[in-house]
Chains A and B, each alone.
Chain A
Amino acid sequence: MSKSNKEVPKLKFNQGWSYAPAPESASHVKLKDRYDLFIGGAFVKPTSGKYFDTINPANEEKLAKVAEANTADVDKAVKAARTAYDKTWKKMPAKERGKYIYRIARMIQERARELAVIETMDGGKPIKESRDVDIPLVANHFFYYAGWADKLQYAFPNRIPQPLGVAGQIIPWNFPLLMAAWKIAPALACGNTVVLKPAETTPLTALKLAEIIQESGLPDGVVNIITGFGDTGAALVNHPGIDKIAFTGSTDVGKIIQKAVAGTNKKVTLELGGKAANIIFDDAPIDQAVEGIINGIYFNQGHVCCAGSRLFVQESVYEEVIQKLKDRLETLIVGDPMDKNTDVGAINSKQQLDNISKYLKIGADEGAEMYQSGCALPGKGFFCKPTIFTNVAQSSRIAQEEIFGPVLTVQTFRTDDEVIEKANNTPFGLSAGVWTDKGSKIFNLTTKMRAGVVWANTYNKFDPTAPFGGYKESGFGREGGLHGLGAYLKW
């Protein structure tokens, strides 16, 4: 490793200006004390009579009580979806179907601010992300797929597309409303009805979406939203009245689902875990690349299935990159997600914080060198300092297993072939990043990455028109774009 680097000017971060608090107001947010299940167009009490609390992970305060759906409730929801499919939705002209979806998109835009604030309160992500990334993408996703409803015959040449029927959809807590949009919008556009189960730690925006759907006049039962834990999801997967399962979540649970539907005629798409390589060549614009690394792993506290969690740095620029990375780490503002200046918010749950802490210990035990931001963490709530592990071996568990938190592992390489080999040496294959100024090298690398999404000189970008999904154990099927339609059609 060359030490020939010019003196990198060191910024002093521990003195001088500090930011005044700039909290987003929650005064315009309307939250009920208790949320029931959204089945057949109405909010109905759970058969179990049971409710659970959803809390704000940034201060551990209770936000609302939410219904816990049991097997009987799942059955009710699936039947409502089936009735809506048979009686209304599959008979509706595609143009009209599309107009309902457009209307939902517009109503989401109208209530974007409220949705963004609730997303941040319930999930812990910084308000600037839910405001500028999540909610705009949600509205755009509905708007994009609305237009497909009456054009499906153009998407798959020489085929006559048909809806599948009732789709059961299970989504995670990292992008709660965005994942709901990724699931519901294409399903409806293709003429299916749905039963959606949001994650137990982040049910509120999905339930707000249920209110929007109710107001939109969408026929009863076309979208049903039921809340609960893993048992509720399992009941949905195993329900015989489901034609399709769409799941986003961990690879472990994805495998259980794939096994559970064996021998049935249920179609499945899985969007599972990742352990993406983010590769920095010595000819990359280093300052931009450092921003890309930061965005790749600390965006949404690293709760991103496609997070750039394995950094590969070419040896000749290793010291420069690491120094700049550490400097940049110190400038990240960690804390209150509702503050408009916050870069890294709260970890989604106590359980997830424990999981991340477990990996921090594993990394240290494996002999990697840990560097953490010097930031102070709030006294309440679930927070984790942005962390970098250097001196990491390819075989280290922290370099092999998905941590799903703000934890970056750093490895080095010398040649293109070496880094291609190392980057692909994982059971996952969701995403990858490449930083270099040389065009032909970009395309060599992006072609050779065994991953479904590859960012060149950028990272963590999403768009309704861009298909997203994994290779290998990161799942199968695509969401977004023309290709995303295939998950909800048969021929």
Chain B
Amino acid sequence: MATSTIKKKTAAKAPKATEVKSNSSTTQRLEVLKTYKLYVGGQFPRTESGRYYLATNKKGEQLANICLSSRKDFRDAVGAARGAQKGWASKAANNRGQILYRIAEMLEGRRAQFIDELLKQDSTKAQAEAEVNTAIDRLIYYAGWCDKYQQLFSSVNPVASSHFNFSVPEPTGVIAAIAPQNDSLLGLVSVIAPVIAGGNTIIVLASENKPLCSITFAEVINSSDVPGGVVNILTGKPSELATQFASHMDVNAIIFCEDDELIQKDIQEKASLNVKRVMIYKEVNWNTEQGESPYFILDTQEIKTTWHPIESIGSGGGKY
């Protein structure tokens, strides 16, 4: 419950009647608290399970009731992500870049709200500002890559036979990710941006301990021309959902950002059910430039090689 060390608006929902009374007695306006829901298929549903958990700060003070997503929520999200994937991948690369840029613009406009949430989740003011700034800049960084990584990772292959032969990256498909625990906003952005820059769609499980920014970020996504289903954000427990993420047969790859060997092993084992690609980002410092690279985009790309005959009547041609 709210204490003197935290501003009034950090009070958990449904504050005690006495507090409401005290508010009204000082004629202060009662603050409207936000309901933190999920973001699936461009909508903000509550968890179908009806379950919740309490987000707290380090001191144990309550911040909000957070949806405790279920396996069914995840399955719904995969359906939404699969439905959106073809359309997103077939958008012009330039257009994807503009949409990522638009996310950055929206985030910039809501800096104050994110800084406020980070402060509630134990960041210092300097840390909170730095995290929001880096998150915005990271989106701009990946916006720029949307129509460039293809050229970096493609090749025209000088085959010995009479064929025009080239290799290009294509999106892996539907990606499930468990975001870093410690960087509530920046971790989320750093995982989502390279995946969608590359034409994939994503279901991401936000930081369990610092979930506030995730749903607020979903509001940013929702107002940025990102088609519904491209980004789906769940809140809940990695310990409960990781195994579901890894075993779903319509997920093509999984990203795990925690240093938890047991969960990691479980993910890697279950991933073998349909030969999922597994990325473990446990030693990445998201606050530095180490946290951004076109190689993060490449992690969720498949290389396709196309062969096309060249008519070479009368030429020397190629022979082994």
Minimum CB–CB distance for B213 against chain A, Å: 30
Interface residue stretch chosen among B75-83, B182-190, B262-270: B262-270
* A461 close to B (CB within 8 Å): yes
Which of A136, A475, A476 is in CB contact (< 8 Å) with B320? Answer: A136
Q: What residues on A are CB-neighbors of B277 within 8 Å?
A: 476
Does A453 lie within 8 Å of B274, measured CB to CB? no
Does A465 lie within 8 Å of B159, measured CB to CB? yes
* A132 close to B (CB within 8 Å): yes
Assembly CA distance A259 to B269 (angstroms): 4
Does B275 lie within 8 Å of A132, measured CB to CB? no
Residue of A nearest to B262 (CB): A263
Of the four ranges (under 10, 10 to 19, 20 to 34, 35 or more), the interface on chain A belongs to 35 or more
Assembly CA distance A483 to B271 (angstroms): 23
Assembly CA distance A187 to B155 (angstroms): 21
Q: What residues on A are CB-neighbors of B170 within 8 Å?
A: 447
Does A455 lie within 8 Å of B307, measured CB to CB? yes
* A446 close to B (CB within 8 Å): yes
Does B268 lie within 8 Å of A261, measured CB to CB? yes
Q: What residues on A are CB-neighbors of B305 within 8 Å?
A: 452-454, 466-468, 481
* A209 close to B (CB within 8 Å): no
Interface residue stretch chosen among A169-177, A250-258, A295-303: A250-258
Assembly CA distance A454 to B304 (angstroms): 7
Does B167 lie within 8 Å of A481, measured CB to CB? yes
Q: What residues on B are CB-neighbors of A256 within 8 Å?
A: 272
Does A466 lie within 8 Å of B295, measured CB to CB? no
Assembly CA distance A137 to B265 (angstroms): 38
Minimum CB–CB distance for B82 against chain A, Å: 13
Among B161-182, those with CB < 8 Å from A are 161, 163, 165, 167, 170, 172
Does B163 lie within 8 Å of A461, measured CB to CB? yes
* B303 close to A (CB within 8 Å): yes
* B308 close to A (CB within 8 Å): yes
Does B165 lie within 8 Å of A466, measured CB to CB? yes
Assembly CA distance A25 to B208 (angstroms): 70
Which of A157, A258, A454, A481 is in CB contact (< 8 Å) with B275? Answer: A258
With a 10 A CB-CB cut-off, give which of B155, B261, B275, B304 has the most chain A CB atoms: B275
Residue of B nearest to A466 (CB): B157
Residue of A nearest to B155 (CB): A482
Among A451-471, those with CB < 8 Å from B are 451-458, 461, 463, 465-469, 471
Query: Given A254-B275, A481-B157: A456 and B320 within 8 A (CB)?
Result: no
Assembly CA distance A461 to B302 (angstroms): 20
* B160 close to A (CB within 8 Å): yes
Q: What residues on A are CB-neighbors of B160 within 8 Å?
A: 140, 463, 465
Chain B, 136-159, contact with A by CB distance < 8 Å: what is the 0/1 string?
A: 000000000000000010010111
Assembly CA distance A472 to B273 (angstroms): 11
Query: Given A468-B305, A469-B303: A262 and B155 within 8 A (CB)?
Result: no
Does B265 lie within 8 Å of A476, measured CB to CB? no
Q: What residues on A are CB-neighbors of B271 within 8 Å?
A: 258, 262
Does A463 lie within 8 Å of B268, measured CB to CB? no
Which of B155, B264, B272, B295 is in CB contact (< 8 Å) with A481? Answer: B155
Assembly CA distance A298 to B210 (angstroms): 58
With a 10 A CB-CB cut-off, give which of A258, A466, A475 has the most chain B CB atoms: A466
Minimum CB–CB distance for B245 against chain A, Å: 15
* B56 close to A (CB within 8 Å): no
* A151 close to B (CB within 8 Å): no
* B50 close to A (CB within 8 Å): no
Query: Given A452-B303, A454-B306, A456-B306: A427 and B265 within 8 A (CB)?
Result: no
Minimum CB–CB distance for A178 against chain B, Å: 12
Minimum CB–CB distance for B260 against chain A, Å: 11
Q: What residues on A are CB-neighbors of B152 within 8 Å?
A: 157
Does A472 lie within 8 Å of B158, measured CB to CB? no
Assembly CA distance A88 to B304 (angstroms): 36
Residue of A nearest to B273 (CB): A255
* B252 close to A (CB within 8 Å): yes
Which of A136, A457, A463 is in CB contact (< 8 Å) with B165? Answer: A463
Q: What residues on B are CB-neighbors of A270 within 8 Å?
A: 275
Minimum CB–CB distance for A202 against chain B, Å: 22
* B15 close to A (CB within 8 Å): no
* A402 close to B (CB within 8 Å): no
Does B320 lie within 8 Å of A452, measured CB to CB? no
* A478 close to B (CB within 8 Å): yes
Residue of A nearest to B261 (CB): A263
Query: Given A136-B320, A453-B307: A473 and B163 within 8 A (CB)?
Result: no
* A442 close to B (CB within 8 Å): yes
* A272 close to B (CB within 8 Å): yes
Does B268 lie within 8 Å of A159, measured CB to CB? no
Q: What residues on B are CB-neighbors of A132 within 8 Å?
A: 320
Which of A140, A457, A468 is in CB contact (< 8 Å) with B309? Answer: A457
Among A231-272, those with CB < 8 Å from B are 251, 254-256, 258-259, 261-263, 270, 272
Does B302 lie within 8 Å of A471, measured CB to CB? yes
State the B residues within 8 Å of A (CB). Answer: 152, 155, 157-161, 163, 165, 167, 170, 172, 252, 261, 264-269, 271-275, 277, 293, 295, 302-309, 320
> Can you list 19 contacts pairing A with B, beta carbon distance less than 8 Å?
A157-B152, A159-B295, A251-B275, A254-B275, A255-B272, A255-B273, A263-B265, A442-B308, A453-B307, A458-B308, A461-B161, A461-B307, A463-B160, A465-B160, A466-B165, A473-B274, A474-B275, A475-B275, A478-B303
Please provide the 4 A-B residue pairs with the shortest distance between their CB atoms, ordered closest to farther: A263-B265, A262-B268, A258-B272, A136-B320
Known: A140-B160, A258-B272, A473-B275. 9 other contacts (CB 8 A): A140-B320, A259-B268, A262-B269, A452-B304, A453-B307, A454-B307, A466-B307, A471-B304, A481-B157
